[in-house]
Structure 1
Amino acid sequence: MTVIGLTGGIASGKTTVANYLAQLGAKIIDADAVAREVVTPGSPALREIVRAFGPGVLHTDKTLNRKKLAAIVFNDPSALQKLNGITHPRITEIVLNKINAFKRNSNSPQDMLLLMAPLLIEVGLHKLVDKVWVVHIDAGTQLQRVMERDNLTKDEALKRINAQLPESHRLKYAHEIIDNSGSWENTRKQIEKLWFKYTGCVSQ
């Protein structure tokens, strides 16, 4: 089994790429889903978050108010670092357990396990995978997509983008780059080429 870490900046199209790879036969671990799992009501991580940032980051039903928490951490690097210190170790532990479980159940070297993680590099999850694939888009396209997708002003969108790892740094870790700046047809061809390269299987 080959374990691929799939990452990319905000609005790069990681989910679209991952969904297509799933259609081709890849198994998927979604690190965002794991991140939501570690902050469920009553979890140790959520209790720590409330202690660190106050009860105002909760909805009335005691679930995490992600929008309020994001407003705090995206404007304060030290707050973001504090949040990451609470959540990242727990996310890493769960992801590693999931990878090991997939490996135990795999009976073919052609199998592909895809770890989709926006913070693959930042959290250190790239150390758990065999290869890193980066979904890349140019800066102008990224800004436009973030504004449209999240209904943000230009300044708000730039804050979100600039809070992430610079694209140039992310690309240094890439074994493969999928350019998603253009048409879906162009992206799809790149994915299918990589699928064949890593599994030896031809897409249907």
Structure 2
Amino acid sequence: MTVIGLTGGIASGKTSVANYLAQLGAKILDADIIAREVVAQGSPALKEIAHTFGPGVLHADGTLNRKKLASIVFDNSEALEKLNAIMHPKISKIVADEIAWHKQTGEQKMLLLVAPLLIEVGLHKQVDQVWLVHVNPQTQIDRLIKRDKLSKEEALKRINSQLPESERLKFAHEVIDNNGSWENTRKQVLKLWNLYATGDTDKKN
């Protein structure tokens, strides 16, 4: 089984690529879903977050108030570092356990770890290949404005809060160009599936 880490900036098209790979037969491991499970009601991580940032980050029913927490850590690097110190080790541990389990029991040819923060969290160290869904800055801005109904200023703020694309490219084994049509992207993804799902990477040369 080949373990692929799929990443990319906001509005790059990671979800579409992941969904297509799932159709082809890849097993999907979604880091965002794992992150939500880590802060489930009553979880140790949620208790630690409430202790660190105050009870105001919880709803009345004891679940996480994501908007409130986001308002605290957004544009506050010190607060974000505290949150990451709570979250990242727990997410990494679950990912490592899941990968190990699938390698032992899974019959799929490919395990796809979908993680927007794959590199920032260090999850790239747990995969065999890093695939980057790449779009140019203007395409990213246009798609984000359309998708989330944002102003250009808001879109740029979200994009600039993430790791620069130039840094992601340094870690990428494969780059999926998603600037054009979906059909063009689909052909690239299918080619990579045929290459890596078989484990015969010699075909690349």
Give the conservation status (yes or no) of the 8 Å contact 1:3–1:129.
yes
- Normalised by the length of structure 2, the TM-score is 0.92
Q: Distance in 2 between matches of 1:71 and 1:158?
A: 17
Quickly say closer, same or farther: Cα 1:80–1:139, change in 2 above 3 A. same
Count of residue correspondences = 199
Q: Which amino acid aligns with 1:62?
A: G
Identity %: 68
Q: Show the counterpart of 1:148.
A: 146
Structure 1 ranges of 4+ moved more than 6 A: none
> What corresponds to 1:162 in structure 2?
160
For 2:94, the equivalent position in structure 1 comes to 94
Q: Are 1:4 and 1:132, in contact at CA under 8 Å, matched by a contact in 2?
A: yes
Q: Per the alignment, in what secondary structure is the counterpart of residue 29 of structure 1?
A: strand
Query: Structure 1, unaligned stretches of length 5 or more?
Result: none
d(CA) in 2 for partners of 1:145 and 1:5? 23
Q: Distance in 2 between matches of 1:107 and 1:29?
A: 15
Q: Per-residue CA shift, 1:11-35, capped at 9, x if unaligned?
A: 1111110010000000110000000
Identify the residue that residue 32 of structure 1 maps to in structure 2. Answer: 32
Alpha carbons of structure 1 residues 62 and 152: separation in structure 2 relative to 1, 3 Å: farther
Aligned residues of 1:74 and 1:159 also touching (Cα < 8 A): no
Question: Structure 2 matches for 1:1-204, cutoff 5 A?
Answer: 1-106=1-106, 111-200=109-198
User: Considering only aligned residues, what root-mean-square deviation do their CA atoms show, in Å?
Assistant: 1.5
Counterparts of 2:139 and 2:60 in 1: how far apart (Å)?
37
Letter in 1 for 2:15: T
- Greater mean alpha carbon deviation, residues 178-187 or residues 58-67: 58-67
2:202 maps to what in 1?
A: none
The range that moved more, 117-126 or 54-63, is: 54-63
More deviation in 27-36 or 143-152? 143-152
Gaps of 5+ in 2: 200-205
